[in-house]
Chains A and B, each alone.
Chain A
Amino acid sequence: MGKKRKRDAAAEEELFVSGHRACPGCGMALAVRHILRATGKDVIVVTPTGCLETFTSPYGYSPWRVPWIHHLFENGPSVASGVAAALKAQKRDHIRVLAIGGDGGTFDIGFGALSGMLERGDDVLYICVDNGAYMNTGGQRSGATPLYAATTTDPPGRRSLGKRERKKDLPAIVAAHGVPYVATASVAYLGDLRRKVRRAMAFRGSRYIQIDTPCPSVWGFPSHLTLEVGRLGVKCGLIPLYEMENGQIVSVKRIKRKVPVTEYLRLQRRFHHLLDRDELKRLQEFADDTIRRYGLLGPSEKGGSHDREGGPER
């Protein structure tokens, strides 16, 4: 108890405040609030075009209590590189650069710029708040859309089951650039998310965190279920949470009680067309493969320092 009270008393100054225009239950808004709790105030945030830019910046209003800049859709990473270069030139080294972009700006249209930034190793923590489609324009397919999900530009129909391809494995691509820190996180596990942001801030150079941020409006679930949907995504194996340091996986979030993918999918309208289809098996296989690949079900390594699941979520 005492420990909890101490935490509350030390509650960090809120740097992303209420009053913004996110939809009810927006996973992204919650993620951003906790990202900034973890970074503290000495950051400059760059956000490419997308939901986050739109709902936080109607002219004359702002929930950002840190300097924030939106420039264009495809240049979040390079604007961030420019800010980092300026800070270095000005010797304002204690100020850190954070880019927070959606999956469209990160996986797709900003991918070239992202790769350039990573290859140069510019001192930027790039965070992708991933909701798996272009939500700002009404839910069109992106490279982050999961297999079989319905989007407005890849809808299920008599000749279609929705997204035909798997989600791009961007964390692996980022890691292939040889950056010091890559992690995946979920808004359903906020303690883990904040810890990863803090860990990322301990490194210099390019770092990447990809956060699963469920979107009630386009995924099609009631807005009070954001965290539940996020949790089920992790527990069924479709959203593996792990972190890599210098190319090696150093921790995974283990699944205590694995759930079948249907538990995750049935809550979301974007997968309803799939529930009575044989292809459902493919998604289950995919989840099982992911669990095996990252060792999400194995017992914790006794006394190992690499398993950091413990601790209640807050």
Chain B
Amino acid sequence: MSRTQVLEGSEAVAWAVRACRPHVISAFPISPQTHIVEQLARMVADGELDAQYVRVESEFSAASVVSGASAAGSRAYTASSSQGLLLMTEVLYASAGLRLPFVITGVNRAVSAPITIQVDHQDTISLRDCGVLQFYAESAQEAYDLHLAAFKIAEAPDVLLPVMVCMDGWILTHSYEPVSLLEQEVVDRFLPQFRPVHFLDVNHPKTWGSYAEEDVLMEFRYSIQRAMEGAKTRIREVFTQLGELTGRDQGGLVEAYRTEGAEVVLMAMGSVAGTIKEVVDALREEGQKVGLVRIRCYRPFPHEEIWSAVRGAKVVAVLDANVSMGSEGAVSMDLKAKFYGRPGAPKVFPCIAGLGGREVAPEVVREIIRRALEGDEAEDGSWQPYWAGLRPEILP
């Protein structure tokens, strides 16, 4: 059913995309996304993948090409990173509005200025409101699995929205790990050919992308929101189905790691979870009650799963690899919004960690846990975001 190979994370993603047999691929190069689209280009050039590969002049056009292809009824794929994702922002809003189910890899990288190629989540988090589902991978293996799931979820008739699989640049895209790949016929059974109900069809001409006003626009928005909420059921289903095929159950919308009876629960997305799990293991050894909730699906926001996993904890310490300037990290804000007014809700300790590739080493995680336990919030109960690993000595 499967074979295991040592692959670069990017290559694993390319293999997943290849197995999904997209009709159309379009991309513009940006580090650290390039290895994925180079691999796909090679597969097309070698005739291993029968797809139209449109080499565009910008990320804006890459997202637009896959939008057009998707509207014409084809399975389509693109990938980008950082500035490229920001350039695609307008397209992604409109594509969600048009209910175009393509898949995009969001290779996480910080956003300018200062320009950098180092990882954080500011780029994809900035797209959280546009109606695109977002999954975050912890490992190359999970990135592979999530891409298979992504097409199936996106194309489900009750979802029909773009899906973005986010993975940390360099840490996941450029390191090698053993990855188990499914056989093509297994993937084909899991993900049959895309047969959309609606597409640009000369025999049934329809008008797409109309102008709408106050009498209907709200209902368009509401249907996206409803599809997002409804997608949760579909996501659980597809993850379970895939878990049965692969023998890897990586959890549902969240992964709860040693949260039983935990006083402090850390919350994070992406590859940093590996480090956190090590710290959790070590501290559990020492008798401390700590655990981790790793968000795999950030949009739609899985507050029910999070609630079940953290109920009974004193504090949830959220590691946000992003900041909403003038407020705090996006995940902690989401969490507070859902916890507010809920009896027995744990306190939320907002941490900003890992911006621009700043290392989140085990001692950084331990320090976050120490502060969470200490409860150094203000007297009025407000808790200022803790910038983990900040170097105050170089601030002007």
Contacts and interface: CB of A to CB of B under 8 A. Distances in A.
B26 A82 contact: yes
Nearest to B98: A71
A253 B40 CA distance: 48
A80 interface: yes
A266 B386 CA distance: 69
Contact of A59 (B62, B91, B216): B216
A85 B71 CA distance: 11
Interface in B1-59: 23-24, 26, 50-52, 54-58
B67 A71 contact: yes
Contacts of A58: 210-211, 213
Given A75-B64, A113-B60, A116-B57, A85 B211 contact: no
A296 to B, nearest CB: 35
A74 B61 CA distance: 9
Contacts of A68: 205-208
A89 B74 contact: yes
B73 interface: yes
A63 B65 CA distance: 25
Contacts of A77: 61
Contacts of A103: none
Interface in A79-127: 79-90, 95, 112-113, 115-116, 119-120, 122
Given A62-B210, A122-B54, A78 B98 contact: no
Given A83-B68, A89-B74, A113 B58 contact: yes
B94 interface: yes
Contacts of B72: 44, 82-83, 86-87, 90
B209 interface: yes
A229 B50 CA distance: 51
A86 B56 contact: no
Contacts of B23: 85-86, 89-90
B66 interface: yes
Given A67-B201, A67-B205, A78-B60, A86 B73 contact: yes
A56 B208 CA distance: 11
A88 B69 CA distance: 10
Interface bracket on A: 35 or more
Nearest to A40: B202
B202 A67 contact: yes
B90 interface: yes
A120 B26 CA distance: 12
A248 B326 CA distance: 59
B25 to A, nearest CB: 9
A82 B51 contact: no
B231 interface: no
A130 interface: no
Contacts of A95: 202
Q: Which of B26, B65, B69, B210 has the most CB of A within 10 A?
A: B65
B200 interface: yes
A120 B55 contact: yes
Interface of B: 23-24, 26, 50-52, 54-58, 60-62, 64-74, 76, 90-91, 94-95, 98, 200-202, 204-213, 216
7 contacts: A41-B202, A54-B211, A67-B202, A67-B204, A72-B64, A82-B72, A89-B69
Interface of A: 41-44, 46, 53-54, 56-60, 62, 64-72, 74-75, 77-90, 95, 112-113, 115-116, 119-120, 122
Given A57-B211, A85-B68, 16 more contacts: A53-B211, A56-B207, A71-B71, A79-B68, A81-B54, A82-B24, A82-B66, A83-B68, A86-B69, A86-B76, A88-B52, A89-B24, A90-B72, A116-B58, A120-B55, A120-B56
